[in-house]
Structure formats: C-alpha cells, structure tokens
Amino acid sequence: MLDKYGIAKRIAKEVQDGYYVNLGIGIPTLVANYIPDDIDVVLQSENGLLGMGPFPFEGEEDADYINAGKQTITTLPGSAFFDSAMSFGMIRSRKVDLTILGAMEVSENGDIANWKIPGKMVKGMGGAMDLVASAQNIIVAMQHVNRQGESKLLPACTLPLTGLRCVKKIVTELGVFDVIPDGGFKIVELHDGVTLDQVCVSTKGKLVE
C-alpha cells in the first residue's frame, strides 16, 4: 500500500505537458514535488499564484510565499502573483485543465464531499466549490477508508456535498479507480502488494473490474 507521498507520486503521472493544474490542500500539494522534468506544467494556487514550484528545503523557506493551505512554497521563473478575483476568474472561466483535491467521501456517480463534517467547526468551503464546478478534469487523492475503517468510496455521499458528478479519477493507498459514466469505480490498477479482496472489503460503492 502507498503512503501519502506514494499517492502524490502516482498522481503526478496523470499530469500532461502544457497543463495548468490546481493543487488542493493536503496530499495534492505534494504532487508539486513529483512533476516530471521533461514536461512543462504550470501550477496554480487559488490564493493568487501562477507558477508554483516544489516545497522549499528546510532553512530556505520564505514566509511570504505560501499556497492556499498556508504552507511555504517556492516560485519558478516567470511566476505571477495576483489577487483572489483574478485567481477565481481563471478558475471559473475554465482555464484550469486539472484540479487535484482531497476528499472525505466520493460517490460512485462522481459526487464529492470534501469540506465539512456536521458538528465540527470549519472556516468555510474555500475555493473547492468553484474548482469542482469549473475544472475540466478532477482527480481525488485520499485514503480509501476513514479512521474508523469505513469506506470513503460509497454508493452515495453522506456528508454535505461540494460538487455533483465531477470526479473522474481517484487515487488511494490501494489503487487507481476511474468513475465511469454509468456509475461505479472501475479498477485501473492495484498498487504492489494489494489484493482484489482488500479493495472489495474497503469499498462500499460498486466496483467494476
């Protein structure tokens, strides 16, 4: 099974040359460290940065350079800074080719819940609703089960929704899964050492081989 770094490294293989990519908070931010050197990709941070680089080495951080999750980052030659209005103008006008997000639940129809657990304090949805409504392609990076061992790939989401029928692909510690148009999680690949039985036990939604 993969750890969070392995999940990020696998998702980086889905990024294509020429893409503009938005990285969500959590595991998705790690994808910046694994973009292949032989492709040209521009990373967008919704707090107002185009041209985000990998995380800085320890001791080289600049507190003025942060991503949407308030983590220190680096910039690349040609990077641009701008306000939130410009940033969300890019997002809403579908200039972002790929959005990579974390999630608490994904349904077999591609619905996503990633912003609120009822009864727990949250600061707000942030830009997630705009991103899932506007991105041309959405990949979710998440753990296959929650801390209670319950599946997060479900027939229907139980938590407040962020977006409907928008997720195209999911990468977890167990494998890679496409959300198919008719509904269901199609197994694209299982990670080394993972068995089909493990995936079946951990997936409550419909699996398609």
Per-residue pLDDT tens over the stretch 137-184? 999 999 999 999 999 999 999 999 999 999 999 999 999 999 999 999
Whether residue 101 is predicted with pLDDT greater than 90 in this model: the reply is yes
Is residue 46 among the annotated active site residues? yes
| Cα–Cα–Cα angle for 115, 183, 202, rounded to 5 degrees | 65
At 123 the pLDDT is: 65
The pTM assigned to this predicted structure is 0.91
- Tell me which of 14, 46, 58, 150 is the catalytic residue: 46
Residue 146: predicted pLDDT: 93
C-alpha–C-alpha distance, residues 200 and 6, integer Å: 21
- Give the residue with greater pLDDT, 126 vs 157: 157
> CA angle, 192 as apex, 190 and 193 as ends, to 5°?
100
Mean of the per-residue pLDDT values for the chain?
A: 92
Q: Which two tokens stand for residue 104?
A: 């608490």
- The 10 Å CB-count burial string (b at 16+, else e) for 94-105 is eebbbbbbbbbb
Q: Check residue 72 and report its DSSP letter.
A: B
